[in-house]
């Protein structure tokens, strides 16, 4: 079957634009114990129906059972799909105050007289291109008309915001928790080089708009990068992973925030191998999922441990270019499959993070202290 990379097959293929660099489509056929892979590349915007006319740039014959476990090839990774639209009640319930907000409430002075501020609107920007589709809205590259600066705009559609994620702030007003967390993280003592920074936000009747400074190549996230890289050396895998782990360590230990949506689609790269963790739409302040097995089994939520589980999934994906588990049953019961040994330390770290026993699962501190992360690890790092 001919499939577009990262697209879910629903019968007839939709026309779609390629990413900034190129499009890939792959054709898999199986027979007589072999699995054939053909890959095409084409210019941006080319109709999918013309792909079979192109000369394949790569043909690979893979024998079933090539991996060390003797299993057939696993399903290809797919991007996660945005949730269906939901409706929020006309009257938003009174939002809760988190511990960080209680401190702000006491510290914020009561303004003597509000100054008239010119309201920012989406018309103040020229949209240059669409960069992606997130869980709660679109992400676009734009240019500010006032000073010509390029900005990334995340559209957060109000009707998709879950009712219990609205939060009240004395200074910001009633906003989605994502905006409150991003505003909290842009304090000088909470900034981190591997975490995206919100520049500003504004709203209209339909959306909130989160402004962020662009990082790396437009539209190039770790999902795309993994797909494009024919082979990633261990040191490159380590460099990317350690930067993500350092960002999570900063969130857990200093900011007291859990991300709760760690995956390759939420990591962006620049041309020098530097990463930033993005999309705090599922983030929360730490209190007493890549869904970890204990969540699926109905046990109580423990945010730090679930972030570490997701880091294990991420490292597996970086090294093996596939997911270790593809459904709930596999997450709960399937033995971890290791296609090949990159190094004993890398396999050990993956197993430690993907420990189904939440009480014995490795902590983020121990992740960064693990021998695999310490070997020629990225300089700099967390505070």
DSSP at 358: T
What is the pLDDT at residue 382? 56
User: What value does the mean pLDDT of the chain take?
Assistant: 75
pLDDT in tens, 269-305: 988 889 999 999 999 988 644 456 765 665 555 789 9
Residue 246 in this model has a pLDDT that exceeds 90? yes
Percentage of residues in the chain having pLDDT higher than 70: 62
Give the predicted TM-score (pTM) of the model.
Answer: 0.69
51 phi, psi to nearest 5 deg: -60, -45
The span from the CA of 97 to the CA of 282, in Å, is 17
For residue 328, CA distances in Å to 282, 297, 333, 372 come to: 20, 10, 9, 29
Predicted pLDDT of residue 43: 46
Spatial distance between the Cα atoms of 253 and 309, rounded to a whole number of angstroms: 17
Report, as an integer, the average pLDDT of 202-213. Answer: 95
User: For residue range 92-140, what is the model confidence (pLDDT) as tens digits?
Assistant: 344 444 545 454 544 444 444 444 567 899 999 999 998 877 655 689 9
Distance CA 318, CA 346 (A): 11
Residue 261 known to be catalytic: yes
Greater confidence, 51 or 240?
Answer: 240
- Predicted local confidence at residue 164, as pLDDT: 81
pLDDT of 13: 29
What's the mean pLDDT in 168-180?
92
- Sequence length of the chain is 383
Q: If DSSP codes are grouped into helix, strand and coil, which group holds residue 50?
A: helix
Is the alpha carbon torsion for 291, 293, 299, 304 positive or negative?
negative
For residue 25, the model assigns a pLDDT of 39
Answer yes or no: is pLDDT of 38 > 90: no
At residue 74, the pLDDT reads 64
| pLDDT recorded at residue 29 | 43
How much is the average pLDDT of 222-245?
Answer: 94
Q: Mean pLDDT throughout 246-273?
A: 94
Pick from 201-205, 257-261, 290-294, 345-349: least confident? 290-294
The percent of residues in the chain predicted with pLDDT above 90, rounded, is 49
pLDDT tens, 18-28?
Answer: 333 333 434 44
- Please report the pLDDT score of residue 132 as a whole number: 76
C-alpha to C-alpha distance for 306 and 363, rounded to whole angstroms: 10
Going by C-alpha positions, the residue among 50, 1, 51 that lies closest to residue 28 is 1
Q: So where are the chain's domains?
A: 2-63, 122-212, 222-374
* pLDDT value of position 79: 74
CA distance 146 to 375: 47
Query: Are the C-beta atoms of 156 and 218 separated by less than 8 Å?
Result: no
What's the distance, Cα to Cα, between the start and end of the chain in Å?
49
Residues 215/193, Cβ–Cβ less than 8 Å: no
On whether the 222-374 domain is CATH 3.40.190.10, my answer is no
Q: Pick the range with the lowest mean pLDDT from 45-54, 245-254, 365-374.
A: 45-54
122-212 to CATH, choices 3.40.190.10, 3.40.50.10470, 3.20.20.370, 3.30.200.20:
3.30.200.20
* Residue among 169, 221, 224, 261 flagged as catalytic: 261
Whether 177 shows a pLDDT value over 80: the answer reads yes
pLDDT value at residue 375: 78
Here the tokens at position 291 are 């869904």
- Select from 323, 340, 347 the least CA-distant residue to 68: 340
Residue 342 has pLDDT above 50, yes or no: yes
At 81 the pLDDT is 56
């Amino acid at each position: 079957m001919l499939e577009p990379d990262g697209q879910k097959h629903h019968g007839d293929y939709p026309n779609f634009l390629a990413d900034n660099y190129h499009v890939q489509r792959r054709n898999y056929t199986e027979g007589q114990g072999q699995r054939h892979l053909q890959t095409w590349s084409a210019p941006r915007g080319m109709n999918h129906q013309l792909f079979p006319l192109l000369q394949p740039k790569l043909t690979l014959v893979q024998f079933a059972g090539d991996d060390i476990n003797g299993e057939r090839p696993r399903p290809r990774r797919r991007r996660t799909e945005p949730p269906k639209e939901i409706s929020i009640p006309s009257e938003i319930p009174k939002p809760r105050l988190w511990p960080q907000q209680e401190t702000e409430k006491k510290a914020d002075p009561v303004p003597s007289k509000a100054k008239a501020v010119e309201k920012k609107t989406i018309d103040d920007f020229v949209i240059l291109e669409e960069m992606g589709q997130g869980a709660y809205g679109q992400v676009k590259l734009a240019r500010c008309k006032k000073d010509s600066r390029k900005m990334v705009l995340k559209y957060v559609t109000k009707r998709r915001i879950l009712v219990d994620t609205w939060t009240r702030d004395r200074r910001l007003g009633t906003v989605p928790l994502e905006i409150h967390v991003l505003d909290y993280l842009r304090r000088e003592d909470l900034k981190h080089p591997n975490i995206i920074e919100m520049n500003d936000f504004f709203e209209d009747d339909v959306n909130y708009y989160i402004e962020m400074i662009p990082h790396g190549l437009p539209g190039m996230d770790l999902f795309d990068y993994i797909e494009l890289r024919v082979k990633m050396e261990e040191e490159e895998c380590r460099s990317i992973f350690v930067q993500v782990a350092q960002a999570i360590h900063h969130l857990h230990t200093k900011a007291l925030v859990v991300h709760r949506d760690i995956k390759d689609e939420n990591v962006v790269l620049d041309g020098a191998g530097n990463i930033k963790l993005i999309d705090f739409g599922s983030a929360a302040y730490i209190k007493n999922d890549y869904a970890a097995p204990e969540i699926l089994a109905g046990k109580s939520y423990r945010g730090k441990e679930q972030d570490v589980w997701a880091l294990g999934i991420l490292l597996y994906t970086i090294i093996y270019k596939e997911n270790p588990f593809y459904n709930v049953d596999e997450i709960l019961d399937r033995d971890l499959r290791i296609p090949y040994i990159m190094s004993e330390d890398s396999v050990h770290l993956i197993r430690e993070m993907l420990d189904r026993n939440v009480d014995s699962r490795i902590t983020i501190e121990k992740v960064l202290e693990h021998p695999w992360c310490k070997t020629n690890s990225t300089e700099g790092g967390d505070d």
